[in-house]
Structure 1
Amino acid sequence: MGYVEVGCRVLLVTVFALALWSKISGREPWTRFVRSVRDMTPWRSTAVPVAVAAGEAAVIVLVATPLRWAGVLGFALAAALLGCFTVATALVVRRGAAVPCRCFGGASETPMGWTHVIRDLVLTALAVLGLAASTSFGIADVGMALIAGVAGAALGLVITRTDDLASLLR
């Protein structure tokens, strides 16, 4: 694993773990998430929210597994999910629907906006970058790998708090 791959792995595990936990941590967060998905899409079943949660869990497991094939699959799945999230969010914003973003917190009332689309695009690009980096071999310096992992975790935490950061800047 190269340093970029390590950083991207830790970043995606951080982002997807916080996203998943915010949805499944209780009945109320799950209900709010399901309601927001129903407000976003024409589908009224719980199949889409369950598929999203299962996909997020699969990304976490695959990307956290320190095997090359697991990383490749995890990065590819993350890129596909994030691409879908980007399109879905852009469609909601474009039609002007005031659907709250439940990506990283069931209690958030912040309606989806273009900042959410940009965040999803950045995450998609980072998943693709991780996928490309997973073709490199070896780490020369464990200390640098640790720094890359810490940087990935820190950036992941910042990304999950973009709603809070945007409200502070307003």
Structure 2
Amino acid sequence: MHYVLIACQALLAVVFVIAVVGKLRGPDEFVASIVALRLLPRAASRVAAYAVLGGEVVVVVALAVPYTVAVGLAGAAALLLALTTGIVVALRRGQSAPCRCFGASAAPLGRTHVVRNLVLAGLAGAGLAAGAMAGEGAMHLAGVVLALVAAGVGALIVVRLDDLVGLFGPADRRQAGAPLTPPRRAR
């Protein structure tokens, strides 16, 4: 279970670090994308955007400190679920904005981002469960290296998911940002 914990911890840490760096490279674009969703009044949306950024920084720090890993995993899950809720609400209202999760992506928020966030929240939960079940057993270097390599590959897939969907997904990229409600049929 130690290796599962290490893999989940490392994957989430890398994903959140890249998210923080991407947002800090273009904070105005990230704030504008949150405002464009119109989930909150403009001023509250700006505050929420900076709260998300602050929450991501807290998660990164908590995941990096051995005694606060469980707090980091729980914080990651909570933040991811809150972000997912916001995306779902916006999509149900027919609103979308570019995903500025990792910086300057032009891909609109959509189902792919909902699934991605739910998988990441699940990994945070798996990390918490693995941490609770991990005993005082010895770890082997090969297992740690394998866990870190798996985390790196997983983080790369998560961060480049918009590009992968664009490359291998439907020809019409707008499907990724389609609302979650089915279209109404004409009578």
Please, what TM-score do these two structures have when normalized by structure 1? 0.91
Q: Residue deviations 1:8-35, cap 9 Å, x none?
A: 011001100011100012xxx1001001
Q: 1:132 aligns with which of 125, 129, 132?
A: 129
Instruction: Please say which structure displays the higher CA radius of gyration.
Output: 2
| Shift >2 Å, 4+ stretches | 137-140
State the alpha-carbon separation in 2 of the partners of residues 139 and 97 from structure 1: 50
Write out per-residue CA displacement over residues 79-130 of structure 1, whole angstroms, 9 at most, x where no aligned residue.
000000111111122222131111012x212111111100011011001111
Given residue 164 of structure 1, which amino acid in structure 2 is its aligned partner? Answer: D
User: For the residues of structure 2 that align with 1:15 and 1:91, how far apart are their CA atoms?
Assistant: 23
Structure 2 distance, partners of 1:109, 1:140, is 42
Can you list the C-alpha shifts for 1:114-168, whole angstroms capped at 9, x where unaligned? 1110001101100111111111134431221121012112101111111000000
Residue 85 in 1 paired to residue 83 in 2?
yes
Which runs of no fewer than 5 residues in structure 2 stay unpaired? 171-187
Q: Show CA shifts across 1:32-60 (max 9, x none).
A: 10011112222322211111111101111
Which residues of 2 match residues 57-76 of structure 1 at below 5 A?
A: 57-67=57-67, 70-76=68-74
User: Which residue pairs with 1:39 in the alignment?
Assistant: 36
Contact 1:59 1:74 in 2 (8 A): yes
Equivalent in the alignment of 1:168: 167
In structure 1, the gaps of 5 or more residues are: none
Distance 2:66 2:79 in 1: 21
Aligned ranges 1:101-112 → 2 under 5 Å: 101-105=99-103, 107-112=104-109
Indicate the percent of aligned positions where both proteins have the same amino acid: 40
Mapped to 2, the partners of 1:160 and 1:108 lie a distance apart of 10
Mapped contact 1:75–1:131 kept (Cα < 8 A): yes
Residue pairs, 1:106-125, within 5 angstroms: 107-125=104-122
Number of aligned pairs?
164
Please, what TM-score do these two structures have when normalized by structure 2? 0.83
Higher RCO (Cα < 8 Å, 6 or more apart): 1
Partner of 1:157: 156
- CA distance in 1: counterparts of 2:64 and 2:12, whole angstroms: 9
**8 Å CA contact 1:2, 1:139 repeated in 2:** no
